[in-house]
Amino acid sequence: MLTTRREFLQSSAALSAGLALGVAPALAMRQPARIAKPMRILILGGTGFLGPAIVEAALERGHSLTLFNRGRTEQRTGHTFEGRERIEKRHGNRDPRRLADEAAEPGPDNPMGLTQLREGEWDAVIDTSAYFPRVVNASAELLSGRVGQYVFISTVSVYASHAKVNADETSPLGTIPDPTVEQVTGESYGPLKALCEQAAEASMPGKATIVRPGLIVGPGDPTDRFTYWPVRVARGGEVLAPGTPNDPVQIIDVRDLAEWIVRLIEKRTMGIFDALGPDRGIGIGEVLQACKQASDSDAIFRWADAAFLREQGVSGWSDMPAWLPPEGDYAGFGQRSCARAIAAGLTFRTILTTAEDTLAWWNTQPEDRTARLRAGISPEREAAVLEALAKRNGG
């Protein structure tokens, strides 16, 4: 089990550093009305998971976008936005320390630094791709005076602890002994993101909006940290279910998050927000039932308590995605307050809608993508644990 902060953050950091932040453009989003005054928005990154969802939400609202990135991730994910109106693309590497390495391996971006951003003015910049405060400082200082708002996408991993139920944005942040370290590990990921937040606020005082998402889910998720459940439940049969049905879970649909970020810019909303959902407490049981309804499967949930899963070497979050046992340092992990974000206009799709759309997206993916989920217990291991559970229960 992921029983320590290090183990949990190590899992989160490994997935977030390489894959975080897009959405499948093939799936229709809700159609928001266009606003009266279109805005100019700069996105640093924007080709992974959350970024493309923001692009789609902003375009639907009539805004114009400048995408600044290396031009490499978009080739892998397919989020090139070729031929789309109101999109300008600029390529470069915002981290000058890595330019030399990139130049040795020429890519589609013909690597450059931030020189591509020396010209232009924007109503807001959305930073989806920074992990080190030095990089945030360089970008924010270059853009200072030419952008009206700096939106930094952070993470709830910035907090020192998740032991308190209903904790909010005032909770103490994690720290590291050496704030100049630039290696993303279980210990450094959250504190480095906290330092990035501080860098954004220091560079643009009074103009920073800090968004701290929890687990981002939905169509296009490259990590499968939620996708595992609708896909597994759709197969039917006996399904290993973690803990108890009431164990708290918090997730945020990537489309809800993206649309809300755009609204924050439209309203020039500043401040710090935990971006979690839904707007009421839910348990892992409700999530699994929504997945069952989404696929109309014959799944039967076999609930295994946290102690038994530990005995079997089954880990929360990785083997059992989206779930951690509500105990110890993570007693409040699935129960953080999202009141501030809701007051600022965050709204939510139903869990059923997210499950249905995620499963529909998954069923359109090529065979090499669907051959094996990137998160969740393997079918072979699940069968063995289910057998052990049945024996323990006298079955």
Structural tokens at position 303: 């609930």
Mapped onto helix, strand or coil, the DSSP state of residue 374 is coil
Dihedral of CA atoms 175, 181, 185, 189 in degrees, nearest 10, equals: 50
Fold observed for domain 228-249+281-329+350-392? UDP-galactose 4-epimerase; domain 1 (3.90.25)
Alpha carbon distance 7, 1 (integer Å) = 9
Give the number of C-alpha atoms closer than 13 A to the C-alpha of residue 319, restricted to the C-beta side: 25
What does pLDDT average to over the chain?
A: 88
Q: What is the pLDDT of residues 120-161, one digit of tens each?
A: 999 999 999 899 999 999 999 999 999 999 999 999 999 999
Q: Considering Cα of 293, then 294, then 299, then 301, what sign does the dihedral take?
A: negative
Tens digit of pLDDT for each residue in 212-227? 999 999 999 999 999 9
What was the pLDDT predicted at 79? Answer: 58
Low-confidence ranges of the chain (pLDDT < 70): 1-36, 72-80, 96-112, 395
Other beta carbons less than 10 A from residue 87's beta carbon: 18
Give dist(CA 18, CA 15) in Å, integer: 6
229, 287 in Cβ contact below 8 A? Answer: yes
Which pLDDT value is given to residue 100? 53
Long-range contacts of 104-111 (CB under 8 A, 24+ apart): 107/70, 107/71, 107/72, 108/71, 108/72, 108/75, 109/69, 109/70, 109/71, 109/72, 111/70
pLDDT value at residue 31? 47
pLDDT of residue 96: 66
Let me know if domain 5-219+251-275 sits in CATH 3.40.50.720.
Answer: yes
Render the burial of 342-378: b for 16+ CB within 10 Å, e for the rest: bebebebbebbbbbbbbbebbeeeeeeeeeebebbbe
Asked if residue 288 lies in contact with residue 359, where contact means CB atoms within 8 angstroms, the answer is no
288 in Cβ contact with 229 (< 8 Å): yes
Where along the chain do the CATH 3.40.50.720 domains lie?
A: 5-219+251-275
* Total-model pTM: 0.88
Task: Determine which helix (DSSP H) or strand (DSSP E) holds 97, and give its type and residue range.
Answer: none
In this prediction, residue 63 carries a pLDDT of 97
Helix/strand/coil (H, E, C) string of 63-95? CEEEEEECCCHHHHHCCCCCCCCCEEEEECCCC
Of residues 192, 249, 242, the one with CA closest to residue 217 = 249
CB neighbour burial string for 265-291, b if at least 16 within 10 angstroms, e if fewer: bbeebbebbbbbbbeeebbbbbbbbbb
153 backbone dihedrals φ, ψ, rounded to 5°: -90, 110
222 prior amide bond cis, ω within 30: no
Condensed to tens digits (0 to 9), the pLDDT of residues 94-117 reads 886 665 554 444 444 445 678 889
| pLDDT value for 275 | 98
Retrieve residue 394's tokens. Answer: 């006298």
| 108 backbone dihedrals φ, ψ, rounded to 5° | -65, -15
Spell out where 248-338 has E strands.
248-249, 251-253, 271-275, 282-283, 300-304
Q: Where in the chain is the domain with CATH 3.90.25?
A: 228-249+281-329+350-392
* Distance, CA of 160 to CA of 157 (rounded, Å): 8
Number of H helices, E strands in the chain: 14, 13
pLDDT at 8: 41
By the 8 A CB rule, do 340 and 271 touch? yes
Place of tokens 């993206």: 258
- How far, in Å, CA of 383 to CA of 33, rounded? 48
